Amino acid sequence: MGRKLRNLVAAVGITLATLSPMKYANAQVDSLNTPLSLERAGNFFSPSGVNELVGKPWKYGDGDVNHDGRTDSFDLAVIDSVSNDEGDIDGDSLSSSANDKQILSDYLNGNIPYLPGDWANLNKEEKTSWIKKMIKIQNSLPNTDYSQWVCRNFITQMELEFYGSSNIDGFIQYYHDNGEPQGGEYYLGEKNARFGLPVVYAGTINTSGESHSVNGVLVGKDPLNFNDWYFFGYENDNQVVPGSQQMDSNSPVSIGLNGYFKGPFGPVFSPLSDLIQFELQGGEVVNIIHKNYVTLHNPEKIKVHLGKLEKIVIDNNSFPDVTNFTPEFLESQGYKAIPDTSSENAFGIPVKLTHEDSDTTNVSYRHFQFLRKFVGSVYSGGITKSDSSPQIIEVNNFTPVEPEDFYLPDEFKIYQNYPNPFNPTTNVKYETNRYGDVKLEVYNNLGQKVYEKTDKGVYPGVHEFKDIDMSKYASGMYLFRIYEGEKFKSIKGVLQK
């Protein structure tokens, strides 16, 4: 598909998404505009719960500027012409800036692993930083008259803008019919779940002894750990901690959730109070009270165990053509190469198993080994529990498949680069008669190193450093130096632009 056509399709996607917002693809059908069951309330601190509750696939800063439910090259192609919440990638309140475009480009090209607002991948410090940015953005917007609102109304409005309600119109009408809030006619629903973050309310006592409400968000992994919560009020983005004016250090802090829930007498717009309650004494937690459905996601109830793996020693004479010793291949050959997984969670949450291999290290000629590390993890309701299991794999008698005219050099040798002169790339061929790493370094006429590359685990034979890119550098003479261990040989080449 040509670039112009792709851009046209992306632009049309923006129009369609604007006219007809998409439902969240993975949401349960009965989760939108229907009461939330208490069994699912245990996920209230999980960002995925926002999508399930509200059915909105995009959120602030996720890069999905064309609202097609994906963050991809189409978004990068049109970000210059689109300005919306999703285009503020860095969270500075300026959408589709040069910095936003650069970050999105880096992400799509694999230069960075995740975007600044990708909540599920952020660590505790990154989550705290992002939530503070979103609070500033929320507080900078003109809202309805807050002058007579009490703290409860403030934090409810903030919760709606962050987390949202599945039936926002009904939620607003309910409080309107019941005479709240005092300073306005209704809550604002236009920005329902704008930020897509699991912000909830917390009831506490201020230092004047009065009942008070603040917002809370789980920035750590454990909802039953008081220090994994970030509390804030409506005045600013400063963290509220025991001893702050808004939180007495000797009074309980209760975590709750607003929404449209199934109650004992039918659906009701109501807060679920005291889902978790922390009893404080001198600012320290002395007791934790929580509802049964929160214990489903209590980290103490979720455990992952990976069986330990013994070292594998492989005689490669039995299958000399194999060069990729995957866990599945080794299992097929009778080796124990995949750890046993077991989840001690009573609800049978599956264990996600991944592995990563280290670089190979030379044991001796035609013998090498590497370390394979398995990680098993269970994710539920905002909590990730994991365990790891390492395994050493040693391969003996490794003989790579070689052409019939295989040539074994007598010594270390380097050939003249070609083409020469070159612009902007060139190649350097070399010979080695030993196994090991071979390194190339390129220096300019001032003796400054401008290029470096290493071939790992090179076998005896003729090899080549290909496509040495010198496009960043000026015309002139360059020194190409190839190291075999401590020994090196050099040649000179000319870059001519």
DSSP string, 89-157: TTSSS-TT-HHHHHHHHHHHTTSSSS-TT-GGG--HHHHHHHHHHHHHHHHTS--S--TT--HHHHHHH
Query: Once rounded to an integer, what is the mean pLDDT over residues 91-96?
Result: 94
Q: What is the pLDDT of residue 321?
A: 62
The pLDDT score that the predictor gives to residue 15 is 30
**pLDDT tens profile 288-299:** 887 655 544 444
Euclidean distance between the first and final Cα of the chain, in Å? 34
Q: What is the pLDDT of residues 127-163, one digit of tens each?
A: 999 999 999 998 876 555 555 567 888 888 888 889 8
Share of the chain above pLDDT 70, in %: 76
The mean per-residue pLDDT over the stretch 389-402 comes to: 74
Asked if 376 and 386 touch (Cβ cutoff 8 Å), the reply is: yes
Name the most confidently modeled range: 87-101, 235-249, 337-351. 87-101
In the predicted model, what is the mean pLDDT of the chain? 80
Whether the Cβ atoms of residue 260 and residue 171 lie closer than 8 Å to each other: yes
Residue 314 belongs to what H/E stretch? strand 312-315
Every domain of the chain and the residues it spans: 3-25+57-134, 143-297, 304-396, 413-495
pLDDT in tens, 166-181: 888 888 888 888 766 6
Model pLDDT, residue 405: 47
What's the Rg (C-alpha) of the chain? 30
For residues 352-384, one letter each, b for 16 or more C-beta atoms within 10 angstroms of the residue's C-beta and e for the rest, the string is: ebebeeeeeeeeeeeebbeebebbbebbbbbbe
Q: Which residue in 366, 364, 342 sits closest to 353, CA to CA?
A: 342
pLDDT of residue 349: 65
Round to whole Å and give the CA distance between 60 and 69: 13
CA distance 465 to 497: 21
State how far the Cα of 116 lies from the Cα of 123, in Å rounded to an integer: 11
pLDDT at 427 over 80: yes
Question: 453 near 430, Cβ under 8 Å?
Answer: no
pLDDT at 273: 79
For the domain bounded by 413-495, which CATH number is listed?
2.60.40.2550
Question: Interhelix angle for 151-162 vs 124-139, to 10°?
Answer: 110
* C-alpha of 266 from chain center: 39
